[in-house]
Amino acid sequence: MTELIAFFSRGDENYVDGEIKTLETGNTEVVAGVIQKLTGAELFKIEPLKEYSKDYNECIAQAQSDQMQNVRPELKAYPESIEPYEAIYLGFPNYWGTMPMAVFTFLEHFDFTGKIIRPFCTHEGSGMADCLHDLINLCPDAKVEEGLVINGSRVYKSCKEIEDWVAAVGKIS
């Protein structure tokens, strides 16, 4: 099966384990890298053209404003096509109960009819929240599988959990 790992992730200052910490690599990108090693799938990073601030408080203000105004930020790039992919692993941090608005932009750019979407989410206590509901509404003709939820502060300790999930969803399809 031909697979793609599309993910949104942000390093710099992040809220981790109750503190603001600077991350060289965002938590969702860490999980995407583990999935890539397990599957050999191609990686694609979803990046807004206008980057979020490196400062955590400014970043969350920008991201929350985008969400409240239902903004679809322009992206730096898109994969040429998703046609060759049967399954798409879709990764994102939970932003106020849903996906970052850049992920909405990515999803609305393509037709996911007949595709399998395997969501994975990093969070600091809110889990998947409304992400699956929003994903199903955006991609009604795709098969949205049960997602993987990883606490951001535990990404480096979650390799076995990620491996088990990848093995399980691979058997489903």
The DSSP code sequence of the chain is --EEEEE----EEEEETTEEEEESS-HHHHHHHHHHHHH-PEEEE--BSSPPPSSHHHHHHHHHHHHHTT--PPBS---S-STT-SEEEEEEE-BTTB--HHHHHHHHHS--TT-EEEEEEEESS-TTTTHHHHHHHH-TTSEEPPPEEEEGGGGGG-HHHHHHHHHHHHHH-
pLDDT attached to residue 147: 93
Question: Tell me, what's the pLDDT at 61?
Answer: 92
Strand partners, 93: 122
pLDDT confidence of residue 163: 95
Q: What is the pLDDT of residue 78?
A: 97
- pTM of the complete model: 0.95
Mean pLDDT of 87-116: 95
**Cα–Cα dist 111/20, whole Å:** 37
67: its two tokens: 């969400």
